[in-house]
Each structure stands twice: as C-alpha cells, then as structure tokens.
Amino acid sequence: MSNPASPPAVGVLDERPGLTFPPGFLWGAATAAYQIEGAAAEDGRTPSIWDTFSHTDGRVVAGHTGDVACDHYHRLGDDVALMAELGLKSYRFSVSWPRVQPGGTGAANPQGLDFYRRLVDELLAHGIEPWLTLYHWDLPQPLEDAGGWPARDTAARFADYTTLVADALGDRVRYWTTLNEPWCSAFLGYGSGAHAPGRSNGAHAVRAGHHLMLGHGLAVQALRAARPSAEVGVTVNLYPVDPASDAPGDVDAARRIDGLANRFFLDPLLRGSYPEDLVADLSTVTDFDHVRDGDLATIATPLDLVGINYYSRHVVAAPVEGAEPEPYWRAPSCWPGSEDVRFVTRGVPVTDMNWEIDAPGLVETLRRVHDEYTDLPLYVTENGSAFVDTVVDGEVDDVDRLAYFDAHLRAAHEAINAGVPLRGYFAWSLMDNFEWAWGYTKRFGMIHVDYDTQVRIPKSSARWYASVIRRNGLAAQ
C-alpha cells in the first residue's frame, strides 16, 4: 500500500482542506492490561488464565509470556506523557482482574487499585479522558479452576469485581466497557483452544458466551447501583460476512457464520433474545439448557453506548470434502455447529496477521448496527493493523499502517455522513505489545517498543495520527 500523505511532525497541522469530524469527536488509542503491564507477580497480583496459558509449552509462539510485556506498570508516567504528546483525547485501558481482586473473590487488593488510581489521575492531569474496560480476557486462574466462563457462578463473581472497581474509580471515570470481544473469550478460549484457557469444547464455548453476556448484564446493573452517572457499554468484535457466490450453499454458510460471529451477541445484548436460526444451527451442540428465566432480560439491561472492534471481513462458502484447514482464528472448532464452512481468501492485501484489509467493511458494520439494532451512540473501540516494522536511524516509517488508519478513518467519516451516530475512534494499539498467542512476533502499535530496552519510538503513524487529532479530521487525498 502507498503512503497517502507524508506524515507531519507531532504538533504540525496540515492545513489542506479535507474531511472534518463532528465537534467533540473522541480521538483515542487502546491497550489491554496483560498485553502491556508486566509486573505479573508484583504487589499482590496473582495468575490469570493468560499467565497459565503463556507458561504452558507450545501455547504461545516462542514461549513468550506477559511477565514483563511493555513494563507499563513501572513506566506509567512516561507512557501517559507520550499519549499527551500525541494529543489523545481519551485512553482506553483494561483493569487486570487478578491485580485488583486476587483469586477472583473477596476483598480488593489495595496496591492493585492504587495502580489504577495513579493511572486515572495521571490521565486526567494531562486532559485525557479515561475509558475503562473491566474485562479484557484475564480471568483469575482460581475462577477457571472452578469452571471458568462455562460456569454460571463466574458471571456473579464478575459483578462483584465490577463493584470493587466502580467504588474505587467511579468518581473519576466516566466511560466504562464491561467486556472486550466476548466472541474471542468464548470461541477462541473454550472452542478452538487457541486462546486462554485453551479448552476445545463447542458446548462449553456456547455456555461461556452466554455467561459472559450474563456477567455483562450483572456488571451494568452493579455500575448503575454504584455510579448512576457512569456511561456504560460493551465492546463486540464484528465482521461483515459475505457468501463467496449466490449459490444457496454459500448463502447459507454466510448466514451460519454471521449468526455465530455477530448475531450470537448482538441479539441478546440489544434485543433480549437469541436468533431462532442460530439456536437451530447449534441444536447438535447444545440445547441451551444453561439459559435460565430472566437471563436474557439481564443481558439486555439498557446501555449508554456500544463499542465496535473492526478489523476485517469474512467471505465464506459451502463445505467441500477434503478442504484444507483454516488458520487458527478460523479453525473449525471456533464455529460449533458450522465446523465445515469454508473461509475464502480473495487475493486482496492483507496485514501481517493475514487479515484482509477491507475498509468499506467498517461502513457496513457501523450502518448495520445502527440500522438494525440501536440508536445508541457508537464508538470504534479498536481498529488497527499488524505489519513488520523496521527501525532505521531511530525512526519507524510504517507507511502501511498509516495507510490502513487513513482508509478506515475515511470509512468512519462516510458512516457518519450516512447518519451513523459514531462518537469516537480508538486506534489499536497505542504501543507494540504481547499479541496473545503470537507473543511478541506481531506489532500493532503506533509506538514501537524495543522489548529488550523498553525504549519507545513513535512511528510515522503516530505522528500522522497526532495531526489528525489536531485538525479533528483528515487531509485531502
């Protein structure tokens, strides 16, 4: 991909006419606790499922772990200063459940809460709005040992943890996300086993998905009780799903994958029901006996906003006998009841994750959620790309990532013009970090991290994003 414009230095505004975003549009960047914090065994923190998973042979590329990660726990002040230099209006971070509540039950750990108090205070001192995510995949290991998300009790424990965080930080944090990408937690964690805790059981994945959403609903209610003024939402990762052709088998394959990837979560969260066709598709996997009276009403507790993470599009086709297995994030066991659906590659440009680059899909996704589900404010809570970066003379000229951001922000602007109430955008990610099962081999950051020295280098994309924030828009192409 070509660079759409030479990136100006931080603070230099490109004055050419272009696309302007609405006043007050929230420009941010995002991270997750296990991916950046490190300090895995300090100040009372106990293991999460990702600590256990990453320390298990063969689970993470090259045996990498999040023990140190970006050492953000010890470099909080410097990292917030970098955010301020970029001009971020908001920073979306997650709280480490086992840092705040070791073991997943009982009283809060004061040292853990103090870290997040310092983070929030530092953000506010620099004029950056804190955006707190309660769960970004780091379930305390004792709760997994007791059954994990397939066990109903985990949802209740999540609500208890939510109250601890709300009591400590709710006076200074306005925006709250309950869950980040429950599809990944359920279907990669308990279906394919590619993510922590590494289980492979389709029925458990479906149960985990339901209990994650139940925990979300209980957490919303806990937040409302503790902090009535909080603005509360959930973040789901969504994909346009297209059939490879108009053939009936391909069309049905798209319906099935759309059900598992998108409607499994959107319908309960925003309509208070599971789609009938999805329940039928899953009839060989589960009879949904884990769904109790009142669950769906709790899951659909009213929200203030919806977060959408967007990275790519799925194109699928009917089964063909002897088809080659798909990459792990599309592994058959990610799709219980639809294991034989084929995912089709189209020969378009891809990122270093082998994810197809498809900016128009963001427009489709945002319009679908608004047109079919809700009038609530929407936020793009993650959007970004991994590419191979090279440091040359102390600089990282990541032209492909810059072009990716530019294309997707133009798509976001198009969605706004089409009437979508999009209120903000969070680039993924603020800095290179521990990329889950890929360890440190994939880089999504706008800021380069040398994992040996912990030196941070803002990339070209960071300088460009700073100019976008300054102008509240994009330069002309």
pLDDT in tens, 62-116: 999 999 999 999 999 999 999 999 999 999 999 999 999 999 999 999 999 999 9
181 is catalytic: yes
**Among the options 144, 181, 364, 435, which is catalytic?**
181
Q: Residue 429's pLDDT band (boundaries 50, 70, 90)?
A: very high
Predicted local confidence at residue 321, as pLDDT: 82
Residue scoring higher pLDDT (322 or 80): 80
Nearest CA among 439, 396, 382, 432 for reference residue 70: 432
Q: Residue 452's pLDDT band (boundaries 50, 70, 90)?
A: very high
Give every CB contact of residue 316 below 8 A, 6+ residues apart in sequence.
Answer: 241, 242, 243, 244, 250, 253, 254, 257, 341, 342, 343, 344
Predicted local confidence at residue 324, as pLDDT: 67
Give every CB contact of residue 20 below 8 A, 6+ residues apart in sequence.
Answer: 471, 472, 473
Q: What is the average pLDDT score of the chain?
A: 95
Three-state DSSP state, 176:
strand
CA distance 384 to 437: 18
Strand partners for 129: 90
pLDDT in tens, 235-251: 999 999 999 999 999 99
Predicted local confidence at residue 5, as pLDDT: 38
Contact 435, 386 (CB under 8 A): yes
Give every CB contact of residue 135 below 8 A, 6+ residues apart in sequence.
Answer: 94, 97, 158, 178, 179, 180, 185, 215
Nearest CA among 330, 253, 334, 267 for reference residue 296: 267
326 is catalytic: no
Q: In this model, does residue 4 exceed pLDDT 50?
A: no
pLDDT in tens, 127-158: 999 999 999 999 999 999 999 999 999 999 99
pLDDT in tens, 283-311: 999 999 999 999 999 999 999 999 999 99
Strand partners for 92: 30, 131
**Among the options 37, 144, 382, 435, which is catalytic?**
382
CA distance 275 to 271: 10
Residue scoring higher pLDDT (159 or 12): 159
Predicted local confidence at residue 331, as pLDDT: 77
pLDDT in tens, 202-228: 999 999 999 999 999 999 999 999 999
Q: In this model, does residue 14 exceed pLDDT 80?
A: no
Predicted local confidence at residue 325, as pLDDT: 61
3-state secondary structure 277-318: HHHHHCCCCCCCCCCCCCHHHHHCCCCCEEEEECCCCEEEEC
pLDDT in tens, 22-32: 999 999 999 99
> How many other C-beta atoms lie within 10 A of the C-beta of residue 455?
11
- Percent with pLDDT over 90 in the chain: 93
